């Protein structure tokens, strides 16, 4: 893949966007782990914790990229990423179990461990978007360092103001998952011989994931509204 080709640049932009859309958990972990530190140590904890977490994630992503060469794992990874794309829309995870560190070392350790435990979605998404290109993996994760350190909290606020960004992000993840499935060597011939089928499949996957997430959220909002109505009566 040529570094200045449209394919390389679009894949890199996809990875950066994936890092952005999945940075919310990182921002929450960082904020909660370092909240008890003195102000002058908080920034250091954020930087050290993020660098350590990204280093571990880089190794994990490269390992996943390597494993995706095994037959049928690309298909399995694509299906798992579809679940992650759906879960991004409907997730209501509570991060109250993230303990604040009482020292710089404890905060950094908490950030790295919690991020590693929660980073499966990012690892699979980036590995799928990179399609075996290790340079893309490293570049994308290096770019994600300043994004997570300085941009993730701002991005959370943007999502709060413009909820449709989450749906856009889920669509990107669904598209990446669909590409992984169509690139599975065991079935790739079906799609490479028919470009119309390939694009139709990707469009269908995106529509299904976003529609499923939207319907789930509407159903949850309706149940919550009924519950509150009963409480007031």
How many separate domains does the chain show? 1
Q: What is the mean pLDDT of each run of 10 residues along the chain (233 residues)?
A: 74 80 66 73 79 80 81 86 85 56 76 68 80 80 69 62 83 89 88 90 96 92 81 68
Segment 131-136 long-range contacts (CB within 8 Å, at least 24 positions apart):
131/11, 131/179, 131/183, 132/65, 132/68, 132/69, 133/1, 133/8, 133/11, 134/62, 134/65, 135/3, 136/1, 136/8, 136/11, 136/12, 136/15
**118 close to 29: Cβ distance less than 8 angstroms:** yes
**101 close to 25: Cβ distance less than 8 angstroms:** no
- Whether residue 213 lies inside any domain: the answer is yes
User: Dihedral of CA 99/101/102/105: which sign?
Assistant: positive
- Whether residue 225 lies inside any domain: the answer is yes
- Whether residue 1 lies inside any domain: the answer is no
- Whether residue 143 lies inside any domain: the answer is yes
- Whether residue 118 lies inside any domain: the answer is yes
Q: Give the residue numbers spanning the domain of 87.
A: 6-232
- Taking the C-alpha atoms of residue 214 and residue 86, their distance in angstroms, rounded to an integer, is 9
The two tokens of residue 183 are: 């690139």
- Whether residue 97 lies inside any domain: the answer is yes
User: How much is the pLDDT for 197?
Assistant: 93
**26 close to 144: Cβ distance less than 8 angstroms:** no
- Whether residue 223 lies inside any domain: the answer is yes
User: How much is the pLDDT for 12?
Assistant: 84
- Whether residue 147 lies inside any domain: the answer is yes
The DSSP annotation for 28-69 comes to HHHHHHSTTS-HHHHHHHHHHHHHHHHHHHHHHHHHHHHHTT
């Amino acid at each position: 893949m040529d570094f200045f080709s449209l394919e390389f640049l679009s894949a890199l932009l996809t990875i950066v966007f994936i890092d952005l859309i999945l940075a919310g958990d990182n921002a929450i972990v960082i904020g909660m782990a370092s909240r008890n530190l003195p102000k002058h140590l908080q920034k250091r904890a954020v930087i050290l914790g993020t660098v350590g977490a990204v280093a571990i994630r880089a190794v994990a992503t490269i390992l996943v990229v390597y494993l995706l060469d095994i037959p049928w794992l690309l298909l399995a990874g694509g299906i798992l990423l579809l679940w992650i794309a759906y879960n991004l829309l409907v997730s209501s995870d509570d991060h109250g179990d993230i303990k604040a560190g009482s020292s710089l070392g404890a905060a950094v350790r908490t950030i790295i461990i919690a991020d590693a435990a929660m980073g499966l979605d990012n690892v699979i998404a980036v590995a799928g978007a990179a399609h075996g290109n290790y340079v893309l993996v490293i570049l994308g994760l290096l770019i994600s360092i300043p994004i997570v350190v300085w941009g993730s909290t701002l991005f959370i606020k943007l999502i709060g103001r413009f909820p449709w960004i989450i749906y856009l992000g889920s669509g990107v993840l669904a598209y990446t998952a669909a590409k992984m499935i169509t690139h599975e060597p065991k079935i790739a011939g079906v799609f490479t011989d028919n470009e119309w089928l390939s694009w139709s499949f990707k469009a269908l996957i995106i529509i299904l994931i976003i529609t499923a997430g939207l319907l789930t959220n509407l159903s949850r909002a309706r149940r919550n509204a009924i519950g509150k109505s009963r409480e007031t009566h």
